């Protein structure tokens, strides 16, 4: 995992406040917790704030959330810095979180990282000069079955390799958003090349007091 970034050189806006829609969302969330326990709402509120700010969390937003929840600002900073999902510096329009944990690494995440770096001309942890792409290396994203994967903003692109990663970047750069999910046409997380089991529907099992019927010959299991 790369070192976290702190309150860096990025231009920090001096002011932040929820827009009307987000304020309504925040109010609903705060109301879920008993009086005096509003601090429990800090994670969802920070998430809302991050979305409003264009996928990053300026200090003013953290201070705003602290004020809204009657918390000391440092307590909010602690939370925001703890979770890697909060970006404390601005990121590009397309925020690439490349999983490099063991299953993805075994399935070739090194080629995915190399393709991104080559294509965008930046290193992990950097943002492209046009401000469109940011690369970040992350730990397991929980989609190991379709490794390797990249999380682009909120969506997963799965079963990537070098060329397909480059195509993904080309599409996004051209302003087109490819369908999310597996890039090799895999159905959900079914086996590559289509289902291998349960191809026929087994006969309906009727419950009786007698012994169950013997399975018909030729079925899968």
Partner 1 sequence: MPKLTVNGIQVEVPAGATVLQACEAAGFEIPRFCYHERLSIAGNCRMCLVEQEKAPKPIASCAMPAADNMVIRTDTPVVRKARKGVMEFLLINHPLDCPICDQGGECDLQDQAMAYGFDRSRYQENKRAVPDKELGPLVKTSMNRCIHCTRCVRFASEVAGVEELGAVFRGEHMEISTYVEKTLTSELSANIVDLCPVGALTSKPYAFVARPWELRKTESVDVLDAVGSNIRVDSRSGEVLRVLPRVNEFVNEEWISDKTRFAIDGLKRQRLDRPYLRGADGKLAPATWSDALAAVAAKLGSVPGSRIAAIAGDQADCEALTALKDLMTALGSPHLDCRQDGARLDPSAPVGWRFNSTIAGIDSCDALLLVGTNPRWEAPIINARIRKRWLSSRLPVGVIGPQHDLTYKSEYLGAGPQTLADLADGRHPFAETLRSAKAPMIIVGQGALARADGAQVLALARRAAEALGIVRDGWNGFNVLHVAAGRVGGLELGFAPAAGGRDVAGILAGCAAGEIDVVWLQGADEVDTSRLGKAFVIYQGHHGDRGAHRADVILPGAAYTEKNATYVNTEGRAQRGRIAIFPPGDAREDWKILRALSDRLGKRLPYDTLAQVRARMAEISPVFAQIDSVVPAPWAGFGAAGPVDTTPFRSPVSNFHMTCAISRASATMAECTAARQAALDARTGTHA
Which residues form the interface with partner 1 (CB under 8 A)?
A: 3-4, 6-7, 59, 72-75, 77-78, 81-82
The token pair that represents 31 in the structure block? 């109301």
Counting beta carbons within 10 angstroms of the beta carbon of residue 179, is it exposed (0 to 12), middle (13 to 18) or buried (19 or more)? exposed
Question: Is the Cβ–Cβ distance between 61 and 53 less than 8 Å?
Answer: yes
Of the pair 27, 84, the CB lying nearest partner 1 is at 84
Whole-number minimum distance, CB 84 to partner 1, in Å? 9
Whole-number minimum distance, CB 215 to partner 1, in Å? 46
State the Cα–Cα distance between residues 158 and 143, nearest whole angstrom. 8
Whole-number minimum distance, CB 154 to partner 1, in Å? 23
Of the pair 59, 107, the CB lying nearest partner 1 is at 59
Contacts of residue 22, Cβ cutoff 8 Å, sequence gap at least 6: 48, 49, 51, 52
DSSP, res 212: P
Whole-number minimum distance, CB 167 to partner 1, in Å? 35
Of the pair 40, 187, the CB lying nearest partner 1 is at 40
Of the pair 112, 138, the CB lying nearest partner 1 is at 138
Of the pair 59, 119, the CB lying nearest partner 1 is at 59
Whole-number minimum distance, CB 73 to partner 1, in Å? 8
Question: Is the Cβ–Cβ distance between 183 and 165 less than 8 Å?
Answer: no
């Amino acid at each position: 995992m790369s070192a976290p970034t702190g309150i860096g050189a990025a231009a920090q806006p001096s002011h932040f406040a929820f827009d009307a829609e987000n304020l309504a969302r925040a109010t609903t969330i705060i109301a879920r917790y008993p009086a005096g326990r509003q601090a429990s709402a800090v994670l969802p509120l920070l998430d809302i704030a991050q979305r409003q700010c264009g996928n990053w969390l300026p200090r003013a937003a953290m201070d705003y959330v602290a004020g809204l929840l009657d918390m000391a600002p440092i307590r909010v900073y602690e939370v925001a810095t703890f979770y890697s999902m909060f970006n404390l510096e601005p990121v590009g329009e397309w925020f690439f979180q490349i999983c490099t944990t063991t299953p993805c690494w075994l399935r070739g995440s090194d080629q995915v990282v190399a393709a991104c770096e080559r294509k965008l001309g930046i290193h992990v942890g950097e943002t492209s000069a046009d401000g469109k792409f940011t690369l970040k290396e992350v730990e397991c994203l929980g989609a190991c079955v379709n490794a390797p994967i990249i999380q682009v903003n909120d969506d997963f692109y799965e079963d990537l390799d070098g060329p397909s990663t480059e195509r993904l970047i080309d599409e996004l750069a051209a302003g087109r958003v490819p369908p999310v999910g597996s890039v090799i046409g895999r159905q959900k997380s079914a086996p590559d090349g289509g289902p291998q089991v349960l191809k026929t529907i087994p006969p309906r099992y009727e419950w009786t007091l007698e012994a169950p019927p013997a399975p018909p010959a030729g079925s899968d299991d």
